Amino acid sequence: MSKKAENVVTMEKIVSLCKRRGFVYPSSEIYGGFAAIYDMGPYGVELSTNIKNEWWKYMVQIRPDIVGLDSAIFMHPRTWEASGHVSGFSDPLTECKKCHTRLRVDHLLEDIGVAADEKMSEKEIDKIFSENVKNIKCPNCGSKDFSGAKKFNLLVKSNLGNFTENWDKEPAYLRGETCQGIYVDYKNVLDSTRVKIPFGIAQIGKAFRNEITARQFIFRTREFEQMEMQYFVTEATEMTEYEKLKKYRWDFYTKVLGFDEKDLKWHKHENLVFYAKEAYDIEFNYPFGFKELEGIHARGDYDLTQHTKFSGQDLTYTDQTTGDKFMPHIIESSVGVGRTILAALCSAYCEEGEGESSRTVLKFPYKLAPIKVAVFPLLKNKPELVAKAREIFDSLTPSMMCEFDDNGNIGKRYRRQDEIGTPFCVTVDFDTLDDDTVTVRHRDTMKQERVKIVELDGFFHKHNL
């Protein structure tokens, strides 16, 4: 059944709900905001934590071959030379010669269906741009006259530990991606744990990029959080492990986060950076179209070879049974937390009913819902109802996020919980005082049933809360 036109999920609706209901706020808003930076509100932080926990469970907890890591945001500056970020980590920019708008070349190419990798050299990307520029128009003024593609470095500098006047010359960077922390700790993990190839190292953490054109809400931000897993393999098994990882990551979205398969698709990178064997993105159908949610890349032995070269440390792996020494190849899975949050919000967003009985509801899978159960006394001014509701609330909070609400009429309280995606509401009324039962209302069906207080635990357990 197709959704009615007014029920289409738009960015305006998502942004407005996020602000109104405390999921996402613009950063430093009382000072007019700070471009491309956002804060997670009380419900946003719960949603974000739930997503990260599901990822960690799926990528680390149930995987005996993958271990976790939490490396620091600041790293030795040479890390970023070895990785190629100092010279090559940049957005390719062009300027419209007529209106002087600065534009991302890879985005312009993407819009006409030509894929370019942000890690390509200026020469590589300028070549693709000049081959396709005849099909590109300035989105601002319509002109087709552009300057050549130039790269603008994305690393964010700091003066950490540098008290000299020319700190700018040798800056400590805020990390531009979390995976470099994994590469430089690879040897420590190898020496201090029992991992054997093939094995993975996973981490969740903040990264920073000086994005020029920040757009689309929390989709592309200057401070963001990544969930990355780097998997170390032999050259011979790289592509079979890569196919396994692709399937495993697809299943995360459909089976764990409950996304509809029709909102997901594969996007193959046609123009690869020179060392890459293969690169695919999983794209999600956002209100602004299918865009990258996750990157899954076969990176060859480039990363550890580079760090061997720049650090002078031997990062080769010795196979304990055969005695073979080799440089591990790496396949990676890399996804942004913000992009996943936005996809989860778009997936869950529904508008139902008409007029008085209309409602907006976020139909999150229960495990993602910020609040699992809301507890209401039917009336605020009846102490015996309030006391009983408090008692139930206090008994549930040690095991799940709950909310207590005695404001306004019950209908309004239900609507509020629907908008933040709370799966169940429990109401204490006058019957409760007689028979120790409560009304439990289901978010998705709005059906209500009477449940004995002593059986609430079992009821929620049965529903996997």
Using the rule CB under 5 A, is 138 a contact of Zn ion? yes
DSSP state of 426: E
Measured from the CB atom, the residue of 96 and 282 that comes closer to Zn ion is 96
Phi then psi for residue 342, to 5 deg, are: -60, -40
- Is 99 near Zn ion (CB under 5 A)? yes
User: What residues between 376 and 415 interact with Zn ion by CB under 5 A?
Assistant: none
Residue 224's φ and ψ, nearest 5 degrees, are -150, 170
Both structure tokens of 160: 């950490």
Using the rule CB under 5 A, is 147 a contact of Zn ion?
no
Minimum distance of Zn ion from residue 111's CB (angstroms): 14
Which listed residue (130, 140, 159, 409) binds Zn ion by CB under 5 A? 140
Stretch that binds Zn ion, among 90-98, 221-229, 307-315, 451-459 (CB under 5 A): 90-98
Buried b (16+ CB within 10 A) or exposed e, 411-427: eebbebbbbbbbbbbbb
- Told to check if 143 binds Zn ion by CB under 5 A, we report yes
**In this chain, which stretch among 24-32, 116-124, 143-151, 284-292 interacts with Zn ion, using CB under 5 A?**
143-151
Helix or strand run (H / E) with residue 122: helix 122-132
Total count of residues recorded for the chain: 465
Nearest distance from C-beta of residue 104 to Zn ion, angstroms = 14
User: Which of residues 141 and 236 has its CB atom nearest to Zn ion in the complex?
Assistant: 141
The answer to whether the beta carbons of residues 233 and 331 sit under 8 Å apart is yes
Task: Decide: is 136 part of the binding site for Zn ion (CB under 5 A).
Answer: no
Q: Which is nearer to Zn ion, 95 or 223 (CB)?
A: 95
Number of other CB atoms surrounding residue 94 within 10 Å = 22
CB of 230 to Zn ion, least distance (A): 41
Shortest distance, position 367 Cβ to Zn ion, whole Å: 47
Residue 442 · residue 399 · CB < 8 Å: no
The contact pattern for Zn ion, residues 43-82, with x = CB under 5 A and - = no contact, is ----------------------------------------
SS3 of 336, please? strand
Tell me the residue type at 385: L
Distance, CA of 423 to CA of 186 (rounded, Å): 42
By CB under 5 A, residue 93 contacts Zn ion: no
145 CB neighbour count, 10 Å cutoff: 12
Among 8, 141, 387, 400, binds Zn ion (CB under 5 A): 141
Cβ closest to Zn ion, residue 8 vs residue 99: 99
Within a 10 A sphere around the Cβ of 111, how many other Cβ atoms? 14
Among 96, 202, 369, 420, binds Zn ion (CB under 5 A): 96
Nearer to Zn ion, 80 or 129 (CB): 129
Rule CB under 5 A: is residue 133 a binding residue for Zn ion?
no
Q: Report the alpha-carbon distance of residue 265 to residue 282 in Å, rounded.
A: 6
**Closer Cβ to Zn ion, 150 or 390, answer by number:** 150
Sign of CA dihedral 308, 312, 317, 323: positive
Options 77-85, 136-144, 348-356, 444-452: segment touching Zn ion (CB under 5 A): 136-144
Which residues contact Zn ion by CB under 5 A?
96, 98-99, 101, 138, 140-141, 143
